[in-house]
Each structure stands twice: as structure tokens, then as C-alpha cells.
Amino acid sequence: MSKNRKSNFKGKITNNVRKQKENASSYGYLQLPKGINIFKEEPNSRMRFDIIPYVVSNNTHPDRDEQLQIAMPGELWYKRPFKIHRNIGGSNDSINW
């Protein structure tokens, strides 16, 4: 980009962040759609869950283990770990990827 050329991002990022905040509720690092609540079990109760696997499409999946054939592309796997950076910038945001 040349020195004289200005970015066309002016206001777009701010508007995008504002729109995301309006349409979601925040729970730590999660941004959930309005009306979606975090699951909270009742004390001293038992729960049963169905874990639905998905097809891995990422060649660099964090759980990938070629020797054990775990989380290999095209195979089913049950979780997708991600990393979180906390206390970023002046507002101490958390960023995940």
C-alpha cells in the first residue's frame, strides 16, 4: 500500500464490534447469541450428554497425533481445543484462536 493511500477500514471495525456486542451476550471469552444460556447443572444431580463428533479439516489440529492417528484430517474427532491470550491492550481483552 502506498504512503498516500488511506485504509478503507475507518469506522468499519468499530461498527462491526458494536454489532457483535449488540447481537450476543458475553461469558468470559465466549460470545453467545442473545437468548442462549450457559449450561449450569443442579447441585448433587447427574447429567447425561451426547458428544457429537465432527470431521477434522485442519491439517494442524492441536490434538493431531500421526502415530496414534488422532485428530487427522478427514477423521472424526470430538473436540477442538483453542488458545486464549488474556489481558490484551488497554481494555485487558481476551483473544482466542
User: Which residue ranges of the chain lie beneath pLDDT 70?
Assistant: 1-13, 15-17, 19-21, 23-29, 93-97
pLDDT at 87: 73
Give this prediction's pTM.
0.52
Task: Render pLDDT for 37-47 as a digit per residue (tens, 0 to 9).
Answer: 888 889 999 99
DSSP 24: E
Could you tell me which of 66, 95, 61, 90 has the C-alpha nearest to residue 77? 61
Could you tell me which of 63, 54, 55 has the C-alpha nearest to residue 82? 63
**So where are the chain's domains?**
12-35+42-84
